[in-house]
Amino acid sequence: EQAGKGEYDHFMLKEINEQPTSLAQAIEGRIDPANGRIALSDFEPGTFEGIDSVQFVACGTSYHAALYGSLTLNQAGVRSSALLANEYSVSAPPVDDETLVIAVTQSGETADTLNALRQANAEGAQTLTVTNVVGSTAAREADDALFIRAGPEIGVAATKTFSSQAVMLTLLGQRIASDQRGEPRADTESLLAELASMPGAIADVLDDSDAAAIARRYADSQAYFFIGRGLGFPVALEGALKFKEITYEHAEGFASGELKHGPLALVTPETPVFAIFTGEEDEKTLKNAEEAQTRGAPVIAVCPDDHPAVEAADDHLEIADTDQDLAGLLANVQLQLVSYYAADLLDRPIDKPRNLAKSVTVE
């Protein structure tokens, strides 16, 4: 097992560090920034022309990637929703043959997600899975499959597969929107250029992160909160999930604007707030973070260096200034590192947290 970890103490840290490579693999041959059009050569031109709405179904970290994908689709003008697969049998929105149901699952074997996929198939929706495992049940049972090519992930807490899922879903969303409209979005060229530079931007985060120091600084806190708006919201949820999975500490993620509708009651000087800035109404997120600060909570801003939040916050985790569709992915890498170092300080069994399994094949 130690051999598989190479120079790292844990698979999780190895997999966090693999992200520049796994992401480059995911996008390889699928985008062509030079001509400014989305290739996503996995699909024939016009494949998604007749799609009226999209439903994503997923669990756990994959659900957060699904929410990310769904929000990018909505922002691109395509009706879409992200649904917890385990809720789908009791509350699925209606589907027809113009509905595309996308099962997002790293393993392709999660029972809840397979159930939702089977229900969508039975009800006559078009189905697609976005998965890491060629030959998985989801890949076999969905009408079509898009592979994220992240390579095997051993750590129970998903890391590199989240980044690859979110990127592939962003790309797929652009493709669905452009097929529907008959032409790519005006800003496609710049998005693709930024996407092509993501592996490098993630490498920069990994080379120069203050996450270990921040994990140490806030090690004795009572609870950890994560807030974000727009695409920062699924990243806040994922930041909190990762943190609780491997540290066993209380962590929660909120939409920034929700903080004042209840969670603020939990905020004290003992509850650091990680605020994620993705360039979507950041001034509002900053105001929300300052409301927490007024109650004594330290705020850690995850944002570019020249962002106004850096001045206002108590601490800073830097990300490159990039397209708002992608900034959350860089923020997520910083938060993965914070969780990792916080769990390491507590000497938790990081790769195999108690009570959790890599793939849950029962309902």
Binding flag, residue 292, ligand G6P (CB under 6 A): no
Q: Quick one: which segment of 49-57, 152-160, 206-214, 335-343 binds ligand G6P (CB under 6 A)? A: 152-160
Where b means 16+ CB within 10 Å and e means fewer, 61-89 reads bbbbbbbbbbbbbebbebebbbbbbbebe
CA distance 44 to 303: 37
- How long a stretch of residues is the chain? 363
Which DSSP category does 94 fall into? P
For ligand G6P, which residue of 106, 174, 256, 334 counts as binding (CB under 6 A)? 106
Helix (H) or strand (E) run with residue 262 in it:
none
Binding flag, residue 155, ligand G6P (CB under 6 A): no
Among residues 5, 260, 352, 358, the one annotated as catalytic is 358
Contact set for ligand G6P, span 342-361 (CB under 6 A): 356-360
Query: In the bound complex, which residue of the shown chain has the CB atom lying closest to ligand G6P?
Result: 60
Binding flag, residue 102, ligand G6P (CB under 6 A): no
For ligand G6P, which residue of 57, 158, 309, 327 counts as binding (CB under 6 A)? 158
Please identify, using beta-carbon distances, which residue of 238 and 323 lies nearer to ligand G6P: 238
Binding flag, residue 110, ligand G6P (CB under 6 A): yes
Binding flag, residue 61, ligand G6P (CB under 6 A): yes
> Is 284 labeled as catalytic in the residue annotation?
no
Which DSSP category does 87 fall into? G
What's the angle, vertex CA 158, arms to CA 156 and CA 159, rounded to 5? 130
Is 248 buried (19+), middle (13-18) or exposed (0-12) by CB count in 10 A? middle
Q: Which of 211, 226, 205 is nearest to 322 (CA)?
A: 205
Kindly state the number of chain residues that form the binding site for ligand G6P, as judged by CB under 6 A.
Answer: 17
Residue 359 CB, shortest distance to ligand G6P, in Å, is 5
Residue 37 CB, shortest distance to ligand G6P, in Å, is 30
Please identify, using beta-carbon distances, which residue of 65 and 71 lies nearer to ligand G6P: 65
Helix (H) or strand (E) run with residue 218 in it:
none
Binding flag, residue 209, ligand G6P (CB under 6 A): no
CA distance 336 to 313: 20
Residue 207 CB, shortest distance to ligand G6P, in Å, is 26
For ligand G6P, which residue of 20, 33, 60, 263 counts as binding (CB under 6 A)? 60
Q: Quick one: which segment of 46-54, 151-159, 168-176, 263-271 binds ligand G6P (CB under 6 A)? A: 151-159
Q: Give the helix ranges, DSSP H, for the chain.
A: 2-5, 11-17, 19-27, 60-75, 88-91, 111-122, 137-141, 160-181, 188-196, 198-207, 211-217, 232-247, 282-294, 308-312, 327-345
Residues assigned a catalytic role: 358
Residues in contact with ligand G6P by CB under 6 A are 59-62, 105-107, 110, 113, 156-158, 356-360
